[in-house]
Amino acid sequence: MDDKRRDDGHRDRGDDRDESYDERMDRNFVELLQELRVLQTGTQILAGFLMTLPFQSRFTELSQEQRTVFLLAICLAFVTTVLLVGPVSVHRALFRQHRKDDLVRVSHLMARLGLLTLGLTMATVITLIFGVVLDHRAGYLAGAATVVLFGAVWWALPRWMRHHS
């Protein structure tokens, strides 16, 4: 791709869209919000589900190790929720401040970190479930397989696609 320098000093990556820098930032933020809407709902359902587990009658049967895995899962779910809902708060704080480029950059970072913590949350939950249903060893193997799968689909595949376009 041929990079062109725009009047405002930013690089244009050969995109065919006829849009100003502000229009591009607006579009980028809207696209990011659409992605976050999908993630936010699932993450909030997962976190809500995890919050109910200690109140179930069988929770007392968990080993100390399983309770530790549960606490790790709930903490990761909390951090994930904070990161994926964070762009809304940042948007409110920067509203009408003409800082859309900062908003897009910070929101993008929060979304990336939120995806990382979501993958870790899911792996931890899978570890707990397999550990309860089968045994600790099966739980850790399932958790490791989950991390590998998330890494392959969420990190390696996009990286491969970027380098082989």
Higher pLDDT: 95 or 80? It is: 80
pLDDT tens digits along 101-151: 888 899 999 999 999 999 999 999 999 999 999 999 999 999 999 999 999
Closest Cα to residue 117, out of 77, 151, 155?
Answer: 77
The answer to whether the beta carbons of residues 110 and 85 sit under 8 Å apart is no
DSSP secondary structure string for all residues of 51-98: HHGGGSGGGGGS-HHHHHHHHHHHHHHHHHHHHHHHHHHHHHHHTTSS
12-28 tens-digit pLDDT: 555 677 888 878 888 88
- The predicted model scores a pTM of 0.78
